[in-house]
Structure 1
Amino acid sequence: MTSLLLRVKSKMSIFAHRKARGILDGEYGSVFRGRSLDFDDLRAYVPGDEVRDIDWKASARHGSPLIKRYVAVRRQTLMLVADTGRNMAAESRDGETKKDIAVMVLGVMGYLAHRHGDVVGLVCGDANGSRTLPAKAGEAHLERLLQEVDSSTGLGSGPSRLEEQLHHVAHTVKGRKLLFVVTDELAASPGLEQLLRRLRAQHEVLWLTIRDAELSGATHSPDAFSVADAAPLLGRIAASPAVATAYETATAERDAGRHAMLRRVGISEGHVANSHDVMTELFALLERHRRAG
């Protein structure tokens, strides 16, 4: 059996030199900084402190700004939340299988957690149900998680429905965790937004979208079909300027709706179309999340 984690670590070495990996390590470590920690005491504010750490009520009583100090929890929990429905067996925008990109993304995040001494778990599934692999430490466990995602995702999988996995998290994952959600280009909905608000109130949430293939790709493959229902994608129709324009408009509206929904609930989103850009996109996502915090 090919080691997926070894493949992830090899790509990390190829696409990011040591300094860049160190910066990415630092961004991961900053996600929990000042949050998910045990309160210790208060001290006077000094220039450079995070404004979000000011205890405003205590400051008002004291007459000058006071900062909350925390005792770091030694080990945090990263929960990987992955869609393993058949949508993820489709091609991405740059031609790779979305499943392969997902394994790379999940592997990089899991390995960062491992390097920080954190434990990593997995929630994955499709519209037919979800399953949890409990959070544990170690590279062997991380390899098992990646193998689970890889082996569970295919054209024979059930339909993709990320809401099922998110509901599963809401009902089964206790305590404050870092949720890292990897899925394809979902559409916003009132039900999904309400669910995300519930999750965001309890957990840190990061969201990474894997880009769908372009409709124009159907013009180059006479055997192209939709993985959702096996319907053929007719190249002649896909090549029609009117169809292409309508498709682009619908895609832009869907993406704008999702972006707006995630902004409203306070979740940072990243996008990736190939495994080569995973390190860069993860760094940008972690940076956005830190700044938004």
Structure 2
Amino acid sequence: MERRLRKVRTTMSIHAHRRTLELLDGEYASIHHGRSHDFDDLREYQPGDDVKDIDWKATARSHVPLIKRYIASRQHTLLLVVDSGRNMAATAESGTTKSELAVLVAGVLGYLATRHGDRVALLAGDEQRVLHEQEGGSEAHLERLLRRIDEAISVDGPRSSLAQVLETAVRRMRRRALVVVIADDLAYTHDLDVHLGRLQARHEVLWVSIGDADLMARRGDHRELVGVESGIGLPPFLRRDRGLRRAFDEASAERRARLEEGLRSLGIASVRVAEEATAIGTLFRLLERHRRARR
């Protein structure tokens, strides 16, 4: 059986040149920069930085305002909250399964965390169960988490209930953590708003949506599709109907806009991962957006 983590690392190498990987690595590290006795490096002063952090001697030598950055001495926890309901077994926008993209996203972020000495934990669930894996900091532990995600998602599995998984995260996570929610292309609901608001009050929360497939056959795929949630087929002739396509596009755009608006109102940075080839760049934008929002 192929190791999930090895596949994640291979994908990172294929789809991101060295500079992008270094930036992704740096953006993850910058989330946890804090004041301690461990000096990290110097960087150019930017509006919003604390004036107390300016290194005046280095500034005098370079003629550019430079500030000191410190590495927080404590170990951090990355909590992966994953929707493992049967919707995540459906086809993603790129043609691969959503579960594969979810494992890739979890693997990339988990790998960055372990590289920085942080610990990774997992909560994955559906309407019938919530799987909890305690935090750990080794690659073997991360491999086990990725396998649990992959094995939990099945087209024959229970329906999704992300609100239930988030409620469990609120109850169990007492110590401050970086929480990354990996979910279906879903609608924003009152329950999500309540649980995310409680999580965001205690932790730092990021959101990754796994993009739905284009059901309207615009890429030349005229197979009959069956919804994993309903089990009802969508005949090819309906998918080619222009009016239905327009209504589908409008409904999808409205659902995504409501989700983005709800997350933005809570101060949660979010992105939508549609395919493996662009996942690395998309995650980089997520980390950068989160870092900028915290200034």
The residue aligned with 1:233 is: 234
Shift of 1:70: 8.1
Contact 1:85–1:157 (CA<8 Å) still a contact in 2? yes
Is 2:145 the partner of 1:148? no
Shift of 1:222: 3.8
Change (3 A) 1:50 1:199: farther
Q: 1:227-274: CA deviations, max 9, x gaps?
A: 112111122222222211111111111111001000000000011111
TM-score by length of 2: 0.86
The residue aligned with 1:33 is: 33
Contact 1:129–1:164 (CA<8 Å) still a contact in 2? no
Q: Please tell me the root mean square deviation across aligned C-alpha atoms, in Å.
A: 2.2
Describe how 1:38-187 pairs up with structure 2 within 5 A.
48=45, 51=48, 72-187=72-187
Contact 1:120–1:135 (CA<8 Å) still a contact in 2? yes
Q: 1:19-44: CA deviations, max 9, x gaps?
A: 2211111100111224xx78x9xxxx
CA distance in 1 between partners of 2:130 and 2:177 (Å): 18
Question: AA paired with 2:19?
Answer: K
Is 2:268 the partner of 1:271? no
- Stretch deviating more after TM superposition (69-78 or 242-251): 69-78
The residue aligned with 1:198 is: 198
Shift of 1:50: 6.7
CA distance in 1 between partners of 2:97 and 2:138 (Å): 27
Question: AA paired with 1:85?
Answer: G
Change (3 A) 1:53 1:135: farther
The residue aligned with 1:63 is: none
The residue aligned with 1:61 is: none
Question: AA paired with 1:278?
Answer: A
Shift of 1:279: 0.8
Can you give the 5+ residue segments of structure 1 that lack an aligned partner in the other structure? Answer: 41-46, 56-68
Question: AA paired with 1:7?
Answer: K
Question: AA paired with 1:279?
Answer: I
The residue aligned with 2:12 is: 12
CA distance in 1 between partners of 2:245 and 2:33 (Å): 45
Q: 1:64-94: CA deviations, max 9, x gaps?
A: xxxxx98823310001111111101111111
- List structure 1 runs of 4+ shifted beyond 6 angstroms: none
Shift of 1:221: 4.0
Give % identity.
Answer: 40
Shift of 1:217: 3.1
Describe how 1:210-221 pairs up with structure 2 within 5 A.
210-217=210-217, 220-221=221-222
Q: 1:143-192: CA deviations, max 9, x gaps?
A: 00000011111111111121111011011111100001111111112221
Contact 2:33–2:71 (CA<8 Å) still a contact in 1? no
CA distance in 2 between partners of 1:105 and 1:272 (Å): 8
Aligned residues: 272
The residue aligned with 1:224 is: 225
Question: Tell me, what secondary structure is at the counterpart of 1:128?
Answer: coil
Change (3 A) 1:158 1:243: same
CA distance in 1 between partners of 2:165 and 2:19 (Å): 36
Question: AA paired with 2:96?
Answer: E
CA distance in 1 between partners of 2:209 and 2:49 (Å): 28
Question: AA paired with 1:90?
Answer: A
TM-score by length of 1: 0.87
Shift of 1:18: 2.5
